[in-house]
Amino acid sequence: MLEVDMATRELRSITGKHAPLDQIAKGLNFSEGPAWNSQTGEFFYTDIVGNAIWKWKEGEGHHVVMKPSRFANGLTFDKVGRLLVAGWGGRTVWRVELDGSHTTLVSRYRGMKLNSPNDIVVRSDGLVYFTDSFGALCNVGMGFEDVQRYMDFAGVFSVTPDGKRLRLVIPNMVYPNGLCFSPDEGLLYVNDSRLGLINVYSVRDDGTVGKGRVFYTAVGNESGIPDGMKCDVEGNVYCTGPGGIHIIAPNGKLLGRLRIPDHTTNIGWGDKGWHSLYITTYHGVYRTRLRTAGIPVGSGFR
């Protein structure tokens, strides 16, 4: 059973009275990258310290997709159904083509190696956004080959699907981590783990964003920080934080928290109708099912 706290009435309309909480995977060491492939019915996730990308299918169990994974972190799918990877320890953003080959989209900005791409999202026109925090360069057990940080800033980048046009969209964050669009893609939410808050930016058609403002500051003293983040179809923002997952209305008001029994790292929508929420934690993967649907990943491969 899923437990909640700080709950408003609106939260109950999201969770219902008896939402389940099932553990799908355990024994992992910093699980991340939850991403549902609606074409195959497979759920993808990473084990960062375990240096692997995994997939899981109901009734079929877990299978290694890639190991070693160069300490891959965030995952998503694009419209075509290709897996996109925030490369983290490997310091690149790369894609698995439909034939299984790998394409590196970006590895450097103005000649400098990226910090360590953390999480990733695709706009419906195919433009790829990713956060570039520096954690893999200093966290224990996540470094790989070159751990020197070259850029004095950490920001959010966009890159075209052909990898040719890389743009620094948000230049001035301390530790950018999770990111997601509002349902109409008019807003981009980006959280900052060090500052413990979520910023919101208006998004222009050309992919650039406005100045931005603080949207929400995480509450609670439990284990957990703003990390993974996704929106539902109503525009509510779901963000990891102290105690589990914080659900925030579009006006910035906390609707309540989903309590998860392990330090929560990221979340991803999936299953039929996109009503399930897959939850990665330090040591496992959980799943709940909600009344509200999430925004389809890769626009549901329409």
Partner 1 sequence: MNWKFERIAGPYDGPLGGLAWDGAGMLFSDIMNSTIYRFDPKDKGVRIWRKHTNRTNGIAFGENKVLYGCQEGSRRVVRYESDGSTTLTTQVMRDGHVHNHPCAVTVDRRGRVWCCDPYNELATWGPQLFGKLEHASVLRLSQDPAPQRRTWVIDRMTFDTTNPRGLALSPDERILYVSENNIVEDGCRELRAYGILPDGTLAKPLVMCTFGKDVRGAQRGIEGICVAADGNVLGCGGWKRNGPGPLIYVFSPKGAIIGTHEIPGDLPVQCAFGDAGLDALYVTTGDGFLFRARRTGLRGGRKTDR
Instruction: List residues binding partner 1 (CB under 8 A).
Output: 29-30, 49, 134-135, 137-150, 152, 263, 282
Q: Tally the residues of the chain.
A: 302
Output 283 or 289, the one with its CB closest to partner 1. 283
Token pair for 182: 């509002």
Q: Is 296 left (phi over 0), alpha (psi -120 to 50) or beta?
A: beta
Output 134 or 278, the one with its CB closest to partner 1. 134
Output the smallest distance, CB 281 to partner 1, in A. 11
Output the smallest distance, CB 66 to partner 1, in A. 21
Output 139 or 202, the one with its CB closest to partner 1. 139
Distance between CA atoms of residues 29 and 152, nearest Å: 29
Name the nearest CA neighbour of 53 among 23, 28, 80, 21: 28
Output 151 or 168, the one with its CB closest to partner 1. 151
Output the smallest distance, CB 51 to partner 1, in A. 13
